[in-house]
Chains A and B, each alone.
Chain A
Amino acid sequence: MNRDKNDIFADLYKQHASYMYGVCLRYTKDADDAKDVMQDGFVKIFQSLDTFRGEANIKTWMRTIMVNTAINFYRHKHILQLESVDQAYTAHMPQTDETVISKMTTDELLSIINLLPDGYRLVFNMYVIEGYKHKEIAEMLGITEGTSKSQLSKAKSYLQVLAEEKLNINVENVKY
């Protein structure tokens, strides 16, 4: 009986579950999807543990698996239709006031990221937070580099609108 791998896995989970769950929440539209991605991701991590050779930081390695799982999750659901999403929000693109975003707490920011269309959210997360280049994103998602760029800029604009709405709502609800 091999208890070692399981123990390592349990320890990895113990140490990194919170962070990984945070990653999942960013890439998904709600907690239910996040749980699914988290589960799939950790099962993959368990199965790939043998292949991890220590070249990379294990946290980064785990996160990469998590991100790939999230991408597959949406590709699998056939809802990653980047081009069609594209046209829906091209109409009104406001000038961005970036200070709005910086005023938000992480939780507030997360709640509006969750509202982004799936394609926007993926590209936004991959570029802005994970730091992938457009070329890499294009390869991973099977889209062109141009699409990746336009997705990102639209994601930001859309996020801006959501952020402003969100802050306005808060101002209404919370009277100081």
Chain B
Amino acid sequence: MNQEIKNKFENFEPDVPIEIWSNIQNSILSNASASEPFSKASSISSGMVKVIMGIVAFVALVSTSIWYLNVPNTKETNKESVTEIANNESTPMPVAQDTELQNISNTTQNIQTNDQPSDKQTALTGHNVVEIPTPQPENKLLQIPVDKSNSKIVSIEGQTETCSGKIQLKPNVNGGVWTTRSAASIVPLSNGRVEVISSSTKPVVVYYQLDQNLDSVTLTFYQKAEKVPYKVIDATCSKNDGQIWIESTSNRTFSLFNSNQRNSLQNVGLGVHRIQVVDQYNCYYELTAEVRQTEMKSVISVQALNYIVDYPVYFKCTDIDEQTQVLWNFGDGSTSSDVEPMHRYKTAGNFQVELQFTKGNCSQTVNYSNLKIEDKNVSFANVFSPNNDNQNDIFKVSAPSNLKSFEAKIFNRSGQMVFHWSDSTIGWDGRLPDGQDAQSGTYYYWVKGVDSQQKMFEHRGFVELVR
């Protein structure tokens, strides 16, 4: 476990908040002027240090936003947006892409041009040999800028565009010379103005030398990633509503928390969506995602005592909640918006039941085929009154004649059989086996038989005994 954790952090190089560099420079400066060597610096905390002079950070860390546009589902529109992205990506940058390498070679070069060859020491940084001179004992701490007034020599001009890799600087005093040792190029413009271009995301220090005065500006350039650093990991339009999950494929983040490399869009509905993502450097990217119907895992279940015309059939579906709007189509032309409906078919036949879910902008359909409803071959009254008034005195099965076989049983509420008969022409007169009148109430019947066409039937249900 130890080695694994160690490996995870081996190349862990998070983005450094840009204000740290300026705070460090300020600490060093204030130390140089004060004679106490370190105590002062260590008491400085990041929140309290104001950027005093000469150091300008032009990119504000922008918290994130994601938004999307629903595009009509046409392929042409898609192509256009893709082309746009491609154009943006291919904007040529005049600086070499491999900035890491360039930084290192710069360092080596800088040091080799120093005129203190005897004091050089060799040290390893990473895999590259870099020579670091030991500073002369009499060297004092370097002060940049030399004094506060110099901070007014250079200013940033115009609107700063984040993520462009370019920034324009303007000297407030003419006649100076611009230099940089960072991985950046300086393009002269009119009136001593320059444009600094960098493809590095590391801070760039630009110097302006005016006679004995030196001013420096620390600029941090943020680059649009070469490839879109995000990908769509999931786009579904299930009954849980349409959603798109986006994941960062680099260390770029689009939320306030570093650890949150994923984000989701909810309630997006079906179709092709263009998603614009802004990373923490305010660079824009565009992704497209198509939200399609996903295979429903929900299953319709049908329950009935008898799948017979006029008998109640109960419908259910798994995974429906109260927020889901449903529309049942029973296949015989009737519909219901109840979550768990009951339906009585009026005709016999094979029916295809369809359930449409709607939630937010997503809707889906799930089917149940071959629901077989049969004609009544026998019928019962569901209530009878054995009071000898010649009306419904007997609970009888109205069956077609010449049944091949017949059997019927009556049970009371506690599950005891109270009567049974196997001649379809007779019925139950409401008396118990011992000759006593059965109490009023609900009884359960079970009828089974084979009709004249050799077709088996079996019916169960409740009958009400009323006295």
Contact = CB atoms under 8 A, between A and B. Distances in A.
A58 B125 contact: yes
Contacts of A7: 110, 181
A174 B37 contact: no
A111 interface: yes
Nearest to A156: B1
A138 B223 CA distance: 44
A58 B104 CA distance: 14
B420 interface: no
A3 interface: yes
A84 interface: no
Contacts of B19: 35
Given A2-B139, A17-B202, A39-B44, A106 B110 contact: no
B20 A22 contact: no
Contacts of B13: 18-19, 21-22
B135 interface: yes
B34 interface: no
B202 A14 contact: yes
B14 A35 contact: no
Kindly state the interface size class of chain B when it binds its partner: 35 or more
Interface string B1-35: 11011101100111111011101100110010000
Kindly state the interface size class of chain A when it binds its partner: 35 or more
Interface stretch (B66-74, B75-83, B255-263): B255-263
Interface in A127-154: 127-129, 131
Nearest to A102: B4
A40 B39 CA distance: 10
Contacts of A14: 103, 182, 202-203
B9 A106 contact: yes
Contact of B142 (A6, A47, A107, A175): A6
A174 B381 CA distance: 56
B134 interface: yes
A35 B20 contact: yes
A141 B103 CA distance: 37
Contacts of A49: 135
Interface in A28-83: 31-32, 35-36, 38-40, 42-44, 46-47, 49-50, 52-54, 56-59, 61, 72
B20 A39 contact: yes
A107 B252 CA distance: 12
Contact of A17 (B4, B5, B16): B16
A11 interface: yes
Nearest to B137: A50
A123 interface: no
B8 A106 contact: yes
A100 to B, nearest CB: 10
Nearest to A69: B42
Most buried by A among B20, B134, B139, B212: B20
A5 B9 CA distance: 30
A83 B450 CA distance: 85
Interface in B211-266: 212, 214, 234, 240, 245, 257-259, 261-262
A52 B259 contact: no
Contacts of A35: 17, 19-20, 23, 46
A102 B1 contact: yes
A108 B125 contact: no
B106 to A, nearest CB: 7
B46 A44 contact: no
Interface stretch (B116-124, B314-322, B329-337, B459-467): B116-124
Interface string B269-284: 0000000000000000
A107 B203 CA distance: 24
Interface string B287-298: 000000000000
Given A7-B110, A47-B31, A128-B5, A54 B122 contact: yes
A109 B5 contact: yes
B125 A39 contact: no
A122 to B, nearest CB: 15
B8 to A, nearest CB: 5
Most buried by A among B37, B126, B142: B142
Contacts of B257: 111
B23 A106 contact: no
Nearest to B24: A42
Contacts of A26: 9
A4 B31 contact: no
B135 A43 contact: no
B133 interface: yes
Nearest to A125: B9
A8 interface: yes
Contacts of A43: 24, 27-28, 31, 38, 41-42
Contacts of B202: 14, 17
A3 B38 CA distance: 21
B5 A54 contact: no
A36 B45 contact: yes
Contacts of A111: 257-259
A105 interface: yes
Interface string B153-182: 000000000000000000000000000011
B140 interface: yes
B95 interface: no
Contacts of A90: none
B144 A11 contact: no
Nearest to B134: A50
6 contacts: A21-B17, A32-B47, A43-B31, A43-B41, A46-B28, A58-B132
Listed from nearest, the 9 A-B pairs whose CB atoms lie closest are A18-B13, A54-B121, A6-B142, A35-B46, A54-B123, A22-B12, A111-B259, A107-B259, A43-B41
Given A2-B139, A36-B45, A129-B5, 11 more contacts: A3-B214, A4-B114, A10-B181, A11-B107, A13-B203, A17-B16, A17-B21, A52-B121, A53-B134, A58-B123, A59-B125
